[in-house]
Amino acid sequence: MKVLDFRPVDKNTLKGFFTLELPSGLLIHDMCLHEKNSKRWVSFPARPYTAKDGTEKWARIVDIPDRDRWGQFNRQALDAVAKFQPPAAETISGDEMPF
């Protein structure tokens, strides 16, 4: 896996969005990097919807239902995020990098 870009965000647990390239060549845009209490995880893109009670919820677009496979994917994606180096022209200051 390889991260192709990273856009920092600081909203609740969300620390940024990134594009992930899988070994097959498949690109997943708008992957999310989250962090809370020194724990980090990724999530697939999701679409918002309004629940019957009026609250905003998020529906998964893509999922890995097997818990073990999801854990493996999450670890590999986090490793790819940690290895990401933006091109020199797009260098992000240390204050903006979530890792």
Confidence of residue 88 (pLDDT cuts 50, 70, 90): low
Distances (CA, A) of 39 to 6, 8, 35, 78: 19, 17, 5, 11
Residue matched to tokens 């920092």: 8
CATH at 14: 3.30.1120.40
98 within a domain of the structure (yes/no):
no
| pLDDT reported for residue 98 | 53
Residue matched to tokens 């999450």: 74
CA distance 33 to 91: 18
How many domains does the chain fold into?
1
| pLDDT reported for residue 86 | 77
pTM of the predicted model as reported, rounded to 2 decimal places? 0.80
Q: Which domain holds residue 29?
A: 2-90
16 within a domain of the structure (yes/no):
yes
Confidence of residue 10 (pLDDT cuts 50, 70, 90): very high
Residue 66 has pLDDT above 70, yes or no: yes
**What pLDDT digit, counting tens, does each position of 16-55 carry?**
999 999 999 999 999 999 999 999 999 999 999 999 999 9
Q: Which DSSP letter does residue 54 get?
A: S
